[in-house]
């Protein structure tokens, strides 16, 4: 530090100057306010304490953990544990009630619907759509055209055990033959039965195709599962063919492909992934989407 000299005082403001002068312009000596300075020192002290207490510095193998052992992941785990504890009583009621009981009790129903809505968005929406509206090959859950039944119990079974989930021995299963690929029907016969199916759904058939022949082929090959009138069978997951709501579409091309190669799509057995309470909540939620029986 330079030795202390007499510092001139500015006559106008009455404040001391730094003693420097440039072309007649002098600089007032305005030191940092004391409170600012002490706050600054306090923040330095604070950071030193913080480094010791909390995770702070990265190094090659990780980071300094801090003596308090705090971590954001640990905090999340604690918070989740707290929420589980808060919900325990309500979830307990869901765990002991059957889906039918839940549907009858308005309080449990509201809880299950809220739970189900969140779980549906996490687990089901990727295939069945955000509102259960489905898409080609994925069931629209808002209509009443259930393949395996639309009662609460049927829906619970389907969600728990899945469809053609080979790792679950109680899974829903049935196998439609690939009539074209396996050589059961010839191309002409497939064309005839496709056109017959179109008439069942009140859709226009191709001109010049023998519908009566198609009906005969249907009776011989399809009626065993889909019924004489094509109304389907939920025991076998055989769809109703008369309502125009086909999972893979009702166009000539779609129907031809379905009969020639079969579809036999699958759904995971969620019993292996989700807890029983979540499955109950999902059952009640899916049942509430408009098509429940």
Partner 1 sequence: MTATDIPDSVDAYAEGPLYAPAKKVYPQKVSGTFRHIKWILLVLCLGIYYLLPFARWDRGPNAPNQAVLVDLAHSRFYFFFIELWPQEVYYFTGLLILAALALFLSNALFGRVWCGYSCPQTVWTDLFLTVERFFEGDRRDRIKLDEAPWTVDKFRKRVAKHAVWLLVAWWTGGVWVLYFSDAPTLVRDLATARAPISAYVWIGILTFTTYYLAGHMREQVCLYMCPWPRIQAALTDTEALNVSYRRDRGEPRMSLKDAGRAHAAALPAGDCIDCHQCVAVCPTGVDIRKGSQLGCIQCGLCIDACDAVMARVHRPIRLIGYDTDENIKRRARGEPAIYRLVRSRTILYAGLMVVVSALMLFQLTARPHMGLSVLHVRAPMYTATKDEGVRNGYTLRLSNKWSESRKFAIEVSGLKDASIKSVEADALPDGRLAISVDPDATVEAQLYVTAPRAALEGSSQPIVVKATDLISGENVSVSDHFFGP
| Interacting residues of 284 by C-beta distance below 8 A, sequence separation 6+ | 99, 102, 103, 109, 112, 113, 116, 152
Cβ proximity to partner 1, 48 vs 114, nearer residue: 114
% helix / strand / coil in the chain, to the nearest 5?
45, 10, 45
Q: Which of 99, 108, 113, 282 binds partner 1 (CB under 8 A)?
A: 113
Q: How far is the CB of 257 from partner 1 (least distance, A)?
A: 22
Q: Tokens for 176?
A: 């439609």
| Token pair in block for residue 276 | 């029983």
Window 174-233: residues binding partner 1 (CB under 8 A): none
Residue 278 structure tokens: 């979540």
- Contact present, 239 and 140 (Cβ < 8 Å): no
User: Rule CB under 8 A: is residue 118 a binding residue for partner 1?
Assistant: no
Question: In this complex, which beta carbon is closest to partner 1, that of residue 12 or of residue 212?
Answer: 12
Q: In whole angstroms, give the CA distance from residue 5 to residue 227.
A: 112
CB closer to partner 1, 12 vs 49: 12
Nearer to partner 1, 13 or 266 (CB): 13
Distance CA(69)–CA(245), nearest Å, equals 59
Size of the site for partner 1 (CB under 8 A): 31
Contacts with partner 1 in 5-64 (CB under 8 A)?
10-14, 24
> Is residue 126 near partner 1 by the rule CB under 8 A?
no
Taking CB under 8 A as the binding criterion, the range among 109-117, 222-230, 248-256, 259-267 that sits at the site for partner 1 is: 109-117
- Report the alpha-carbon distance of residue 210 to residue 196 in Å, rounded: 8
Nearer to partner 1 by Cβ, of 143 and 151: the residue is: 143
Q: Which residues bind partner 1 (CB under 8 A)?
A: 10-14, 24, 103, 106, 109-110, 113, 129-133, 140, 142-145, 240, 243-245, 287-292
């Amino acid at each position: 530090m330079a030795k202390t000299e007499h510092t001139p005082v500015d006559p106008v403001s009455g404040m001391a100057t730094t003693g420097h002068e440039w072309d007649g312009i002098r600089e007032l000596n305005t030191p940092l306010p004391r409170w600012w300075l002490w706050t600054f020192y306090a923040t330095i002290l604070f950071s030193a304490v913080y480094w010791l207490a909390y995770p702070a510095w990265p190094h090659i193998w990780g980071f300094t953990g801090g003596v308090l052992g705090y971590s954001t992941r640990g905090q999340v785990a604690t918070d989740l544990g707290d929420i589980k504890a808060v919900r325990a009583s309500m979830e307990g009621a869901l765990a002991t009630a059957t889906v039918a009981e839940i549907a009858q009790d308005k309080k449990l129903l509201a809880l299950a619907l809220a739970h189900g809505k969140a779980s549906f968005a996490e687990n089901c929406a990727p295939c069945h759509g955000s509102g259960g509206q489905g898409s080609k090959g994925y069931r629209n859950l808002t209509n009443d055209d259930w393949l395996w039944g639309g009662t609460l119990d049927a829906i619970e079974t389907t969600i728990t055990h899945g469809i053609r989930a080979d790792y679950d021995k109680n899974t829903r299963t049935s196998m439609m033959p690939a009539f074209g690929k396996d050589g059961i029907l010839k191309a002409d016969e497939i064309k005839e039965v496709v056109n017959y199916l179109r008439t069942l759904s009140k859709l226009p058939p191709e001109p010049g195709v023998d519908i009566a022949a198609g009906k005969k082929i249907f009776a011989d090959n399809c009626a065993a599962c889909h019924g004489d009138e094509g109304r389907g069978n939920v025991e076998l997951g055989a769809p109703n063919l008369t309502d125009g709501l086909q999972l893979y579409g009702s166009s000539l091309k779609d129907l031809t492909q379905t009969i020639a190669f079969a579809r036999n799509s699958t759904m995971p057995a969620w019993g292996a992934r989700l807890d029983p309470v979540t499955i109950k909540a999902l059952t009640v939620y899916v049942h509430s989407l408009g098509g429940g029986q």
